[in-house]
Structure 1
Amino acid sequence: MTASSTAHQKRIHQVLDYIEAHLEDNLSLETLSGLTHYSPFHFHRIFKMVTGETPNGYVKRKRIEKAASVLLRKKDITISELSFRYSFTSNSSFTRAFKSFYGLSPTDFRRKSKGTYSKISQMNRKNGQAITKFDAYVCTTNPLQKDILMTDHISVATKNPISFVGIPIIGKHNSNQAFEKLLNWAGSRGLLRTPNFKMASIFYDSLKITSEANVRMSAGLLVEQPVEMDDTVAMVHFPESNYIIGHFEIGMDQFEASWTSLFMYMNANGYKKTDQPVFQLYHNNYNEHPEKKCIVDLYIPVT
């Protein structure tokens, strides 16, 4: 990847941060392109190259996902309020857009999610267009998952500020490439000389709401000292915070159940997630584990 492409990606990911923080505001092409000092035409082309979506399509999807998140958390908000808040012209246009994305109306989405932990999967239209659909799941109760859900894996603690250098990506399928790129970058700067260096996955989107192909995340490296930055990486900083922390030794197919156990613990004990991302901090290379398992801490910032 050229230095120019890397700089483009960094600018676009800064725009994605802006979109996330301003979903209720004017997010026109002119507004977004102005953040990058690109022309609207040039911005539109680069945005689609980086994200795989047009600016308008991305904003529309993020607003629908945000509305879905609100539906899951706030039972008293009306469909009309959500439609107005996220810039849809009418309830019917919001409902059509929501249903085309999740396969359910907002009302049915809320009803189906009641008391469950939801996720998004993919299904195909008859014309071959992939759309998302809403599935409810609760952890199955085989003996191994019963062990995962035991609360003695989970604690609540206040942590000092935590910093990572990270490479932002879109789509979990791009994570291996991002980690490889990050390791090469860090190795060339002597950041891997400490034998116990820690890697992390940082999630800006919820996999309860966003499909794996579209989820925003960063491949991260934990740092304790200031690091000289360039356009390859971005600093990800977490202020001092309370966290629900789950410590697990799990296979790659058990992360979903483990995260679910943390969120169940959060809800059962009256905690609320903050606006900070969740992340998972790795303590080993699972390829070197005799059973190919990850030793990992999962973090939810809470109040």
Structure 2
Amino acid sequence: MVKIIQYIDNNLDTELSLERVSEIAAYSPFHFHRIFKLIVGETLQNYIFRKRIEKSAFYLSLRKNLSVKDIYLNLGFSSHSDFNKVFKKYYGKSPSEFRKLSPEKFHTISQIHRKNGQVDTVFDQYICNIENLLNWTTMNLKIKVMQLQEMNLAAVMSLGIANVESSFNVLIDWAKKKQLFPRENLKMISVYHDSFKVTAADKVRIHACMLLDEKLEKQEGEVFPETVEAGKFIIGSGEVTLADFEQSWVSLFLWMKENGYSTRKAFPFEIYHSNFKEHPEGKVLVDFCIPIN
């Protein structure tokens, strides 16, 4: 299922019929449909539709060089009117209205189901203005731009923020059997394959990971190999509470824009250097890492 989800995310611009995807998964369409819905919590076509809409929102927000037409054609929509209709139904704003929104002004997009069944989109205003946010960054994060070497990881997929801890528990149980846990200088990592700006928290895909000395050659149960490619990163380091994570990410992306950097096609991640459960104030020493060009 991990491989199938990765395949879908990498091929949103192609035809992704049930027959095609189930063939890749080596299941009959009937059985694959049932298994996918059981594991992911939605049908294959609903998942593909949601990912295409969310990817379009991501491009509208951060890839200003792409035209609206480029975006909807690359994601399989046949016309501007069709794209405009489904996007507005999902986010409550047209693509052009959505593109005008400042990414610093709003931090989350949530859907509220009214009693009449309609879905309304609410943009929660950030808790402070940009100046205060940058001041918070200066006070709480040490920021640097540097090259990181390739990292070989063992990973367990989590669908939804609430399931991350259980994914880490699966990973740790696997590592104990391999005598990889505990060990000195162990690094646990969360890799974000979706953005909270466009994906609901219960559907965000996060990989709970452990840094390995040697590459994991094949999948072992729920644990699969993942690689963070070498490259340039903005790294914001600080000792913060879990409640500060969202503010840390927003402020770091704001710092990136203010300093003229742009993201590259790779996933942001967190590296944990301590355990918040062992800190009297529930704080954790963490690096927030953004891949940049």
Same fold (TM over 0.5): yes
Cα 1:152–1:80, aligned 2, differ >3 Å: closer, same or farther? closer
Which 10-residue stretch deviates more, 137-146 or 121-130?
137-146
Which of 144, 158, 174 matches 2:147? 158
Which 10-residue stretch deviates more, 185-194 or 149-158?
149-158
The residue that corresponds to 1:269 in the other structure is: 259
Q: Which residue identity does 2:252 align to in structure 1? A: L
CA–CA separation in structure 1 for the residues paired with 2:92 and 2:17: 27
Cα 1:168–1:130, aligned 2, differ >3 Å: closer, same or farther? farther
SS at match of 2:101: helix
Is 1:225 aligned to 2:214, yes or no?
yes
Alignment of 1:83-102 (within 5 A): 83-102=72-91
Q: Deviation per CA, 1:204-250, whole angstroms, max 9, x where unpaired? A: 11112211111111111111124475122011111221111110111
CA–CA separation in structure 1 for the residues paired with 2:95 and 2:132: 36
CA–CA separation in structure 1 for the residues paired with 2:256 and 2:140: 11
Is 1:183 aligned to 2:161, yes or no?
no
Is 1:254 aligned to 2:267, yes or no?
no
Cα 1:27–1:196, aligned 2, differ >3 Å: closer, same or farther? same
The residue that corresponds to 2:187 in the other structure is: 198
Aligned-residue identity in percent: 38
Q: Deviation per CA, 1:79-112, whole angstroms, max 9, x where unpaired? A: 4443333222432222221122112221221223
TM-score (norm 1): 0.87
**Contact 1:24–1:87, Cα closer than 8 Å, also in 2:** yes
Instruction: Return 5+ residue gaps in structure 1 as ranges.
Output: 1-11
**Contact 2:104–2:130, Cα closer than 8 Å, also in 1:** no
Please state how far the C-alpha of 1:151 moved relative to its aligned partner: 8.5
CA–CA separation in structure 1 for the residues paired with 2:102 and 2:8: 26
**Contact 1:102–1:134, Cα closer than 8 Å, also in 2:** no
**Contact 1:121–1:133, Cα closer than 8 Å, also in 2:** yes
**Contact 2:216–2:224, Cα closer than 8 Å, also in 1:** no
The residue that corresponds to 1:239 in the other structure is: 229
The residue that corresponds to 2:32 in the other structure is: 43
CA–CA separation in structure 2 for the residues paired with 1:114 and 1:172: 22
**Contact 1:148–1:248, Cα closer than 8 Å, also in 2:** no
CA–CA separation in structure 2 for the residues paired with 1:85 and 1:189: 43
TM-score (norm 2): 0.90
**Contact 2:195–2:204, Cα closer than 8 Å, also in 1:** yes
Is 1:292 aligned to 2:292, yes or no?
no
What is the total number of aligned residue pairs between the two structures?
292
Q: Which residue identity does 1:196 align to in structure 2? A: N
Which 10-residue stretch deviates more, 123-132 or 165-174?
123-132
Please state how far the C-alpha of 1:131 moved relative to its aligned partner: 6.5
CA–CA separation in structure 1 for the residues paired with 2:112 and 2:43: 22
SS at match of 1:113: coil
Please state how far the C-alpha of 1:132 moved relative to its aligned partner: 5.3
